[in-house]
Amino acid sequence: MSSSGNDIITLTGGIDVGNGYVKGVIQNTKTAVFDEIDLPSAVVSTSRTSPKVPLADSEAFAVVTGDFYNQLDCSLSTPLVAAADRRIFGRAALSVRGSKFTEFEVIGKHSKADQELSKVLVLGVFAGKALRDHVTTHGALPDHELRVQVRAGLALPISEYVARRHAYAAEFTGAQGGTDRTVHLVTIKNFSTPVSVRLEFIDVQVMAEGASAQFAITDKGELLAQALLQDLRTRDASLVEGVTAADLVAVKNTIGVDVGEGTVNFPVFTGGRFNPEAAATLEEGYGTALMNAMERMNESDSTLQFSSRKQLADFLHASPSVLQRSRHDRAAGFVEIEAGYLVDEIVSALGDVLSQAGATTEVVYVYGGGSGPIKDLLHPALLKASGDVPVLYLDSSYSRHLNREGLYIAARHVEQSAQTARAEQTREQATVW
């Protein structure tokens, strides 16, 4: 059936597809409803018709208003995905047996832009948001195909950003300079009645990983700056003596250390602008340490067996029971050794970036989902390596979300510019008539 403009769902979102987790924020621009997204960057794929029993349609409202993104079950028909297999997303994927489990490769130099998983995750979460909003508004599944127009902010590692950003965006929108947009069909199969979602990307802004986080830091202004100063004062007041929140907001020359699962990005801002010439990417991250630790466990401790690095990370993150404590301590010991090697690599890379950026650097920010687990090792090492340049180590409870917020800001800015242009065109037409 045809859809009027009023029937089309319009979404604007920033999706940070990390090697470990997908962090996103998506707004329905007609209802102003925001969704925050946080799920493991993993799917289970199967060619079987029913990898699990569909839920009754009557359960749709209860399901989509819960942790829907972590149990999304769908197939995709799009030029970006080779097979129309069913895919189960997020935490639900970690418990499905007998199917193909896919997560990002963090050992080797296989580009994230070339890994199909990045496209699957982006398309899935936007389709999930569209269905979630429809069901929460109408109380039931739709009886027609949902049509969705998307504006997105996405990110690539700095090492890929310069050469790949335009081509990566065009994969979602369609041929560069063309008028026909690529159509991506996502069929959601969580319920007895499948739901078809037709996605068209109006605009895709691609930013460098880490650089998007820096934009978010600037956007948060003095509120975040004051929290950082308070944290620094509890550890070494001499580092920020006489420094105000306004001083931090005014900083124009910065280096970021964005610790991810598969990469560590070092975005450099010179005079308030991203400087790709000085920026760098280290092609390993916290996930590399986990994978290397798993390999050593397999060789030397048969009692420590983990099916994936995510399972190991979750095991270490949880407080162990009395019966698990010995295994927990041994596993943590293996990971700490590998994390020590990673810290050495990060410190060495930062030294190179500091040399390239020059003596104008005012502050080093440390953030990212992988920064929390290695803080006790990394923070003192960075303080020593940076000399008299302050190192602001952001708490991982919010720093892991900074990239997604910066990506949303970029997508929203383009949307607002388009709205302004349309309003100006309308005024001009009214003047002519």
What is the maximal distance between C-alpha atoms in the chain?
81
The model's pLDDT over 208-223, given as tens digits with 9 standing for 90+, comes to 998 888 888 888 888 8
* Cβ-based burial of 60 (10 A; exposed 0-12, middle 13-18, buried ≥19): buried
pLDDT (average), residues 188-215: 93
Lowest mean pLDDT among 67-71, 142-146, 251-255, 419-423: 419-423
Beta strands in 176-316 (DSSP E): 183-188, 195-208, 254-259, 264-266, 268-270, 273-274, 280-282
Task: Please give the structure tokens belonging to residue 237.
Answer: 């007041």
> In the chain, pLDDT over 90 holds for what percent of residues?
57
pLDDT (average), residues 171-191: 85
Q: Is the pLDDT of residue 352 over 60?
A: yes
Tell me which of 236 and 376 has the higher pLDDT.
Answer: 376
Q: pLDDT at position 309, please?
A: 86
Q: pLDDT at position 3, please?
A: 46
Q: Is the pLDDT of residue 5 over 60?
A: no
Q: pLDDT at position 2, please?
A: 39
Task: Please give the structure tokens belonging to residue 406.
Answer: 């910066």
Q: pLDDT at position 394, please?
A: 85
Cα–Cα distance for residue pair 86/430, rounded to 1 Å:
51
CB proximity list for 131: less than 8 A, separation 6 or greater: 64, 141, 142, 146, 188, 195, 197
Contact present, 97 and 110 (Cβ < 8 Å): no
The model's pLDDT over 23-58, given as tens digits with 9 standing for 90+, comes to 999 999 999 999 999 999 989 988 765 556 789 999
Report which listed range, 202-211, 249-258, 344-353, is most confident. 344-353
Tell me which of 101 and 36 has the higher pLDDT.
Answer: 36
Lowest mean pLDDT among 9-18, 154-163, 213-222, 232-241: 232-241
Output the pTM of the full model: 0.86
Q: Is the pLDDT of residue 247 over 60?
A: yes
Q: pLDDT at position 85, please?
A: 86
Question: For 54, phi and psi rounded to 5 degrees?
Answer: -65, 150
Q: How confident is the model at residue 154 (pLDDT cuts 50, 70, 90)?
A: very high
Q: pLDDT at position 118, please?
A: 94
Mean pLDDT (the chain) is 88
pLDDT (average), residues 311-327: 90
The model's pLDDT over 354-366, given as tens digits with 9 standing for 90+, comes to 999 988 999 999 9
Look up tokens 């102003």; give the residue. 32
Report which listed range, 176-185, 311-320, 321-330, 385-394, is most confident. 321-330
